[in-house]
Amino acid sequence: MSIQVQGRDWNKLDDKEKIAYCESLLNDVKKSREPYDLEWYQNYQFENGQHYMAVNTVTGSLEANPPKRRGEVRMVINKIR
């Protein structure tokens, strides 16, 4: 069984066609996972004990939330690990 690209055998494609096909696959994967990247990264940070992370909607980045009250201490006991 061989790989078929647009009805043509992989071995009969030239290098440019192979590269274009592989790049199209990479772009498809990137587009399909992009909506979940931030959620997966937040879950990863939580697992690593970074429980007070928040998304800055202006910059689109994650930031550590400072304590809300002066003198507040935030202790994290990571029970996930």
> If 0-12 CB within 10 Å is exposed, 13-18 middle and 19+ buried, where does residue 21 land?
middle
Q: How far apart are CA 74 and CA 78, in angstroms?
A: 12
The continuous run of DSSP H or E covering 56 comes out as strand 53-56
- pLDDT tens digit sequence for 27-43: 999 999 998 988 888 88
User: Distance between CA 57 and CA 59 in Å, rounded?
Assistant: 6
* Model pLDDT for residues 39-73, shown as the tens digit of each residue: 888 888 888 878 888 778 888 777 877 777 787 77
pTM for this model (two decimals): 0.55
Q: What residue spans define the domains of the chain?
A: 12-64
Q: How far apart are CA 39 and CA 31, in angstroms?
A: 15
Evaluate whether 79 touches 48 at the Cβ level (below 8 Å).
no
